[in-house]
Structure 1
Amino acid sequence: LWWLTAIRHDWLALFRTHWHMPLIMVLGAIVAGMTSEGGGAVAFPFMTLGLHIDPITARDFSLLMQSVGMMCALFVIVFMQVQIEQRAVLFGTIGSIPGLVFGFEIFDPLLDAAQKKMLFVSIWTSFAIALFILNSQKKRTTYKTIIDFKPWKAMVLIATGFIGGIFTAFAGSGVDICIFSIVTLLFRVSEKTATPTTIPILGLNSLVGAYYRLIWKGDVSKLALDYLKVSIPIGVTLAPFGSFLGSHFHRQVLATFIYVLETISVIGFLLTKPWAKFGLIMKKREKEICFYGM
């Protein structure tokens, strides 16, 4: 279907100027399928820190791309009957959808571009540190699913999903790592179960987010849509391939992969120095407050 549409509407011509996005999404799609991070964890920092693209455009592209790639990865999980924690998917999604809408309408407009970049790097680096602490615990007891499931555990998952939905609203992903962190650190679920569990959660959130931005609001930028047009073939093929690889790799290999990605994100963040712009914005606001105060 993509080939028919691309030929009919001359999407292939976009590769001349947008070739870099399919290239980076080779890594993004594999990461989305293999790990507890969505493709947006690669696309967002590359677009905002590397290409200096507006975070809203990067967020919208991440949601659109994940709504395609993550759902294809979900098909592989279902087809291969990979173990997931279904209650985490259910209650995490129940909390994340309201969080996503709240983030779009209330939280995201409060942040400027520099703040979004800093928040993204801070959140994902914290996740990498938490994962490192988790893996440093030798011979820890783990379970395939959440044992002795009680109402308070459902409420924790709903609250975690809500916070993750807010993260997803400004960065394009985030609910996945929130759910992963809570089910592994608090409920001691094995990473082999927690990792594929995050795929349907982020996939469903991306579908809702893509619909909300593209159909309900209707203000997705042309650049985000053009990037999507050239990246769809990568997402629908390599995200499922990543899920297949992730089901065979040792959890330490997947964890090391995440450490490397987050280290690169931190280095990119430090090199671009977005806090300098943030400082100028704060000084401008202070002057405005002083002026109106007089």
Structure 2
Amino acid sequence: MNIKAPPKRHLWVWFLWLGLFYTAWLFLVQMDGHWQTAKDHWPMALAMAVGSYAAGSTPMGGGTVGFPVLVLLFDMPATLGRDFSFAVQSIGMVSATIFILARRQPLAWSMLKGAVVGGLIGTPIGIIFFAPLIPDLWIKVTFAVLWGSFGVLHLYRIGEIAGHVGMTEFDEHWDHRVGFVLGLVACLLAVSVTGVGIDMVLYAALVLLCRADLKIAIPTSVVIMALASLYGVLIKSVTNSWQPGVFENWLAAAPVVALGAPLGVFIVDKIGRKPILLVVATLCVGQFVWTCFSEQDDLGLVGIALAVGALGFCLWVFERLRSWGSVLVAEAQRKNEVRRAAEAGDAEPAAEKAECP
């Protein structure tokens, strides 16, 4: 894997971004008279203060908190939760990405680039053609299943996931191909429907397939979600398919997430990722249970059984990735040992020749 971490930092770029964003936001609320609108939606700003921190410190986009708050707590349509995820992450996750790049944190560049290309194809197809076919109820369930499986995985695998150091290096072209497939499928089937998902999918591939350190996997997941969100905002704007209420909630939450997500990136380096992941994993499982309970009348026993079965299927996929990763890691280690032995064999005759008179 091609991992780059240049030592020199350029935090002035991030501060410049913040200055430009807050100037634009203040101009927007003052010139268009939206101060009261922002004040009226203060509960969303409060919720995203927590959500944006999680977005920067875990492989979860800010929409992972914004979606259930709007849909489960405020009883808003799931389509609004999805569109709000795009909008709010285009600020929070982008701000965190600029902060990550300015600090020169290591990223899994090969897989990330492949995922970006896959997302460029999958996102518009999903938003325009696939997402409109999914009923509101099953948008909620899809979201609940995705992040519920993420939570269960971490509750029983957190010790192993948090114990990875560095990352196993495979063939760069292989990494790119895997990233492309993941980006294409995740953006087509998950991001277009819920507004999130590619971050979790890429993160899972990195920690289960490549045994990547969380210091590499989480920043990489933040970057891909930021790019997918920007692309989603562009597509929604071009197709003029925004749900009513997105702008008002975004107006209140945007100034919070612009600082909250980078704050999560910074603080997690100081206190560690394992405790935060455990808390978030518990919340993810909780929102799955909450969704099934609150929607039990519409889902019925069959629907709940399907949701639980889908969660189990996601866990099975995770475990298959982990098993595949074990094989790939063992093969990579064997190749490295053979190469080192060959290099040592070449060096020994050379040393003997140097000693001959």
Task: Return the alpha-carbon distance in structure 2 between the equivalents of residues 131 and 170 of structure 1.
Answer: 24
Distance across 1 between alignment mates of 2:119 and 2:167: 20
**Structure 1: distance between partners of 2:75 and 2:40:** 16
Asked whether the 8 Å contact 1:11–1:230 carries over to 2, the reply is: no
Aligned equivalent of 1:134 = 157
User: Cα offset for 1:143?
Assistant: 4.6
2: CA distance, partners of 1:253 / 1:37: 15
With a CA cutoff of 8 Å and minimum separation of 6, indicate the structure with the bigger relative contact order: 1
Give the Cα separation in 2 of the matches to 1:132 and 1:253. 11
1:59 to 61, 68, 82: 82
Q: 1:102-137: per-residue Cα shift (whole Å, max 9, x none)?
A: 221232122111111111111111112223343243
Q: CA deviation at 1:278?
A: 4.3
SS at 2:196 equivalent: coil
Letter paired with 2:242:
V
**In 1: Cα distance, 2:73 partner to 2:192 partner:** 21
1:68 to 1:16, Cα distance in 2 relative to 1, 3 A: closer
Q: Which residue number in structure 2 is paired with residue 232 of structure 1? A: 254
Match of 1:261 among 272, 283, 290: 283
TM-score when normalising by structure 2: 0.73
Quote the Cα distance in structure 2 between the aligned partners of 1:54 and 1:3: 29
After superposition, the Cα gap between the structure-2 partners of 1:250 and 1:139, relative to the gap in structure 1 and judged at 3 Å, is closer
- Contact 1:115–1:278 (8 Å) recurs in 2: no
- Which residues of structure 2 form unaligned runs of 5+? 1-22, 304-357
Aligned partner of 2:185 in structure 1 is 163
Cross-structure match for 1:246: 268
Amino acid at match of 1:276: D
State whether residues 31 and 37 of structure 1, in contact with CA within 8 Å, keep that contact through their aligned partners in structure 2: yes
Q: State yes or no: 1:37 paired with 2:64.
A: no
**Corresponding residue number in structure 1 for 2:130:** 107
State the 1:267 CA deviation: 3.6
RMSD (Å), alpha carbons:
2.1
State the Cα distance separating 1:184 from its structure 2 match. 0.6
Q: CA deviation at 1:213?
A: 0.3
Report the CA distance between 1:276 and its aligned residue. 2.5
Matched, 1:217 2:246: no
| Alignment correspondent of 2:70 | 47
Kept in 2, the 8 Å contact 1:134–1:185? The answer is: no
Unmatched 5+ residue regions in structure 1? 283-294
Structure 1 residue corresponding to 2:217, chosen from 171, 188, 194: 194
- Go from structure 1 to structure 2 and tell me whether the alpha carbon gap of 1:110 and 1:48 turns closer, same or farther (over 3 Å shift): same
Residue equivalent to 2:294: 272
Indicate yes or no: 2:40 matched with 1:24. no
AA paired with 1:154? H
Q: Distance in 2 between matches of 1:186 and 1:171?
A: 25
Aligned residues: 278
Provide TM-score, normalisation by structure 1.
0.88
Rg comparison, structure with higher value:
2
> Aligned partner of 2:198: which letter?
V
